[in-house]
Structure 1
């Protein structure tokens, strides 16, 4: 009996038993969460609770083990002189774990909110990075407060350091704040089809902390500094909606019957709207005469597509079909000519 009492009172035995009990408790929690709580979450329509469940379950499991280790170490007399250091270490680890969980949950919630809204199907990475940085700054200040470290001198030192870094990284900071401006003002969103100066067009793939990535029709990535994008003239073909008009410039000889030209052109455009993939089926195309040119009477044909990228195929098929129909109808598209009159 004395042997058992001595064993129970042995600090290393107590350490082992607490640690073993904590591991068993963590395994039981994981089993219950996986086989019961998870099934409840899976019954809901939204997937957001499933994602949060996976994140929270993983860290609660680790947190239970962390608490068990901390309590078990309290029973070791050899660590009593180092109690403040042990407490500080576990406080830091706990704050980091909580910060990581909160950061991931907020990213999931914001990502879900952006997904629900049609214009924000993909969350820019910059938003997630800003949230993460903000949370870790708060965690860092909590750690400093725990160790009774004065923040004022640190802030002053950081202020001087920030000024030096700011001068050295002017372009980088300029791009960073331009990225914040793009996200807040929303001239473009991830997934939009845009055209900017320099004959660059394509889909916005991501708005990062320094640059914006655009995927072109050729399936290449164009990387544009945020500051340059913010200062550029942008044509956003995806706003206010994906469906957009397509203008095709054309011209016919002065001898042409303009009424016949309009009827033939609209008939060709109507067939294109009805048959070509990506064309807006319900749209009624039309023609508008514009100017008397040097060799032609110029006009514009207005068609409509469901998505910006479809305008290339629709324009391609329309020009082919219109040229073929004009040849059959005897309608001439003149090339530049100059008439010379001789006197005497």
Structure 2
């Protein structure tokens, strides 16, 4: 009986001293670290979300927690594989060299991603516009490396954060989703100007998605009327330029709302003393204009007629 126990003990000792045992322990540490990270994130996820109240920061913090648990698992795996301090130092040195030569752009994006998270120029779910690209979309995801935008053309833009910080971006959803838009209409001088302004304001109020009335909307230190208002912007060459300013409740359907307002204005013009102006040109000749020599199809050829018959009065 004792010899059997000694044999088992000998086999176990040889297994523990073999490289197979070291690799088994290392793999087990990594697997347990993976699942432990998921468990920790599940346990503290709600508390972190209530603490930061921003989806992007919440995802970043929870990702950092999982990464920290995995780092501990990697350290345990390294100890199981009996890495020495000199080996770890050499690995760090080699990794740093590779990081500096190959992964510098990624590190730059990570650093810029931290600035994006700190500056808060946009958040997940916001509608933004790239000015130079003339493209709008919704922020789908923000990581420390890139920002993912789902465009209105049903496509994805994945842009490194280093590039995002250098772009001109308009955020239509920041703080207050209400947005003020404008529409310019050129009407003739002969029409009823007050009626034209009334038509513009009524068309905006009748359009779904436009704020009809209410308290003034505050932007910074200024206050603007919430109801649609038509102003005289300019006495132009071909007519009076009117500008309609109105507020929309959400910035997601601005082209549709603008088109609907223009359709309503067009329908109301039939029964109104208002006309849309367009360029007109009048050529006036008087005694200071000289002599206009013209020819009419079917008349005699100018070369065969006396010069005095073609004095511009035919």
- How high is the TM-score relative to the length of structure 1? 0.65
* Contact persistence 2:26–2:78 (CA under 8 A): no
The counterpart of 1:230, out of the listed 165, 189, 209, is 165
Partner of 1:269: 204
Distance 1:91 1:143 in 2: 7
Partner of 1:331 in structure 2?
274
2:89 is matched with which residue? Answer: 155
Counterparts in 2 of 1:248 and 1:93: CA distance versus 1, 3 Å: same
Match of 1:203 in 2: 138
- TM-fit CA distance, 1:329: 0.7
| 8 Å CA contact retained: 2:149, 2:158 | yes
128-137 or 257-266, larger mean C-alpha shift: 128-137
- Going from structure 1 to structure 2, the CA distance change for 1:128 and 1:169 (only over 3 Å counts) comes to same
After superposition, what is the alpha-carbon deviation per residue over 1:186-237, rounded to whole angstroms, capped at 9, x for unaligned?
A: 2122211100121111111123454322222232223333322221011011
Cα contact 1:280–1:304 (8 A) shared by 2 = yes
Q: Is 1:313 aligned with 2:256?
A: yes
Which structure shows the bigger proportion of residues in helix conformation? Answer: 1
Q: Tell me: CA distance 1:327–1:159, structure 2 relative to 1, closer, same or farther (3 Å).
A: farther
User: How many correspondences in the alignment?
Assistant: 272
Match of 1:21 in 2: none
> Deviation per CA, 1:155-206, whole angstroms, max 9, x where unpaired?
3542343233332233333333333332332212221110012111111112
SS of equivalent residue, structure 2 residue 141: strand
Is this contact kept in 2: 1:261–1:331, CA < 8 A?
yes
Query: Residue 101 of structure 2 corresponds to which residue in structure 1?
Result: 167
* Rounded Cα–Cα distance in structure 2 between residues aligned with 1:148 and 1:204: 46
**Contact map agreement 1:202 1:217 (CA 8 A) in 2:** yes
Q: Is the 8 A contact 2:33 2:73 kept in 1?
A: yes
Whole-Å separation in 2 of the counterparts to 1:147 and 1:175: 33
* Contact 2:109–2:146 (CA under 8 A) maintained in structure 1: yes
Whole-angstrom CA distance in 1 between matches of 2:229 and 2:205: 9
In structure 2, the CA distance between the partners of 1:194 and 1:103, relative to structure 1 (3 Å rule), is: same
After superposition, the C-alpha distances for 1:37-59 in whole angstroms (9 at most, x for unaligned) are xxxxxxxxxxxxxxxxxxxxxxx
1:81 aligns with 2:14: yes
Aligned to 2:312: none
Q: Could you tell me how far apart the structure 1 residues matched to 2:251 and 2:199 are? A: 26
SS in 1 for 2:165: helix
Q: Please, which of 237, 241, 251 is the counterpart of residue 186 of structure 2?
A: 251
Corresponding residue for residue 125 of structure 2: 191
Equivalent runs, 1:30-49 vs 2, <5 Å: none
Note closer, same or farther for the CA distance 1:228–1:342 as it changes in structure 2 (3 Å cut).
Answer: farther
CA deviation vs aligned residue, 1:300-336 (integer Å, no higher than 9, x gap): 2222223211222211211100111123213122123
Gaps of 5+ in 2: 214-225, 289-314
Measure the CA separation in 2 of the matches of 1:96 and 1:263: 71
> What do you get for the CA RMSD once the two structures are aligned?
3.6
CA contact (8 A) 1:122 1:191 kept: no
Q: Which has the larger radius of gyration?
A: 2
Cα distance in structure 1, aligned partners of 2:50 and 2:101: 40
Whole-Å separation in 2 of the counterparts to 1:151 and 1:338 = 88
Distance 1:289 1:168, change over 3 A: same
Structure 1: 5+ residue stretches without partners = 1-5, 12-74
User: Shift of the alpha carbon at 1:271?
Assistant: 1.4
1:69-113 per-position Cα deviation (integer Å, ceiling 9, x unaligned): xxxxxx754212333558755653554355324422444467546
Once residues 53 and 127 of structure 2 are traced to their aligned partners in structure 1, the CA distance between those partners, rounded to angstroms, is 12
Contact 2:210–2:247, Cα closer than 8 Å, also in 1: yes
Normalised to the residue count of structure 2, the TM-score between the two structures is: 0.70
Q: Is the 8 A contact 1:266 1:287 kept in 2?
A: yes
SS in 1 for 2:203: helix
Deviations 1:121-177 (A, max 9, x none): 577866655443333223323444566644465335423432333322333333333
Matched-pair contact (CA < 8 Å) for 2:56–2:142: no
